[in-house]
């Protein structure tokens, strides 16, 4: 692990050196800082994101994500559901549950950061990294799945938004012909909001679909994006999740709920259609989370979505 941290620190030093000799880097206000357990992205003196990767219970996650005015919208490990880790990705792999953290659950193990970079997304300054993870069966310590996860964040001025992109590339380990993804109707890229957003919020999507009721307040809806407006510690924010058209089973099937707490996740409809991933044919998924201050119109969300699709 010390070698991995050394490599990451070297990458950061290289980025700093390039900022001195290369005007493109010097003009980029983004920076990345690394602590023992956390990678953070900043613009100027403002923090945009914190990502926890070491000493996490079972899975690395985006621990905090901030609006342009500095309002965090994510909550990690609330008492009612300790396995809800802010913004996380989890499913079942060959029957091993990587979502709920009970009865010998699967563990996503951080291996290394292969690319910590200050760059641009489209024509907008961005900061990001690529992380290598092993999905491991805790019963026999067997490697079940390999993931290459790329996280990057930017703030396109045209849309007055903090935009986080999440890409996961899943690879079947050597020696296996395939793995099967399955799980409950909410498995996927899930987001738990800060406690104050659990009440009084409004869920909506660009097509105005009501969705299918699964149980109680839980619904499933297929659309390009799904959004939620609520008060985060007294300040109105809007949070939207995007699914890329290149994703398998597009448009994304969103899981939504607002009672007894608010939750939103991008799913692959695995509870009805388990998915077999073959050796030599990696599965790649692209999602994004956008955070605005105040309530925003559908048109603004749609324009941001289109910009992200074209700048991926």
Q: What is the pTM of this model?
A: 0.91
> Which pair of structure tokens corresponds to residue 281?
């044919």
Dig out the tokens for 120 from the structure.
Answer: 């641009």
Q: pLDDT truncated to tens, each residue of the chain (312 aa)? A: 444 444 344 444 434 433 333 344 455 689 999 988 999 999 988 999 999 998 888 999 999 999 999 999 999 999 899 899 999 999 999 999 999 987 778 999 999 999 999 999 999 999 999 999 999 998 899 999 999 999 999 999 999 999 999 999 999 999 999 999 999 999 999 999 999 999 999 999 989 999 999 999 999 999 999 999 999 999 999 999 999 999 999 999 999 999 999 999 999 999 999 999 999 999 999 999 999 999 999 999 999 999 999 997
Q: How far is 138 from 122, CA to CA, in rounded Å? A: 41
C-alpha Rg value of the chain to the nearest Å: 19
The residue ranges of every structural domain in the chain are 2-311
CA distance 73 to 239: 8
Residue 17 DSSP code = H
The CATH code belonging to domain 2-311 is 2.70.98
pLDDT reported for residue 7: 39
136-147 burial, b at 16+ Cβ within 10 Å, e below that, comes to bbeeeeeebbbb
Q: What element of type H or E holds 304?
A: helix 298-311
Torsion of CA 269, 272, 273, 274, to 10 degrees: 90
Phi, psi of 34 (to 5 degrees): -125, 125
Task: Provide CB contacts within 8 A for 2, sequence distance 6+.
Answer: none
Distance, in Å, from the CA atom of 166 to the CA atom of 255, rounded to the nearest integer, reads 18
């Amino acid at each position: 692990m010390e070698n991995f941290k050394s490599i990451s620190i070297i990458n950061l030093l290289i980025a700093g050196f390039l900022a001195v000799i290369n005007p493109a880097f010097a003009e980029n206000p983004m920076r990345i800082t690394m602590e023992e357990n956390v990678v953070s992205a900043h613009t100027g003196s403002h923090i945009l994101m914190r990502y926890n990767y070491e000493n996490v219970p079972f899975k690395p996650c985006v621990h905090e994500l901030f609006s342009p005015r500095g309002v965090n919208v994510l909550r990690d490990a609330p008492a009612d559901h300790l396995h809800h880790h802010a913004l996380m990705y989890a499913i079942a792999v060959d029957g091993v549950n990587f979502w709920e953290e009970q009865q010998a659950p699967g563990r996503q193990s951080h291996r290394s950061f292969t690319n910590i970079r200050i760059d641009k997304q489209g024509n907008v300054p961005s900061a990001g990294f690529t992380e290598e993870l092993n999905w491991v069966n805790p019963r026999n310590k067997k490697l079940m799945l390999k993931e290459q996860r790329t996280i990057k964040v930017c703030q396109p001025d045209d849309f007055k938004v903090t935009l986080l992109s999440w890409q996961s590339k899943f690879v079947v380990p050597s020696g296996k012909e395939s793995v099967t993804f399955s799980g409950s109707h909410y498995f996927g890229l899930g987001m738990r909001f800060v406690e104050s957003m659990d009440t009084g919020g409004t869920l909506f999507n660009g097509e105005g679909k009501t969705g299918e009721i699964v149980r109680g307040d839980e619904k499933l809806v297929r659309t390009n994006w799904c959004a939620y407006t609520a008060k985060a510690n007294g300040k109105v924010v809007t949070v939207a999740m995007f699914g890329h058209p290149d994703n398998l089973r597009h448009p994304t099937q969103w899981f939504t709920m607002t009672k007894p707490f608010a939750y939103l996740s991008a799913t692959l409809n695995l509870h009805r259609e388990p998915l077999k991933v073959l050796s030599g044919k990696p599965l790649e998924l692209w999602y994004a989370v956008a955070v605005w201050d105040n309530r925003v119109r559908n048109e603004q969300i749609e324009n941001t979505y289109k910009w992200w699709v074209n700048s991926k």
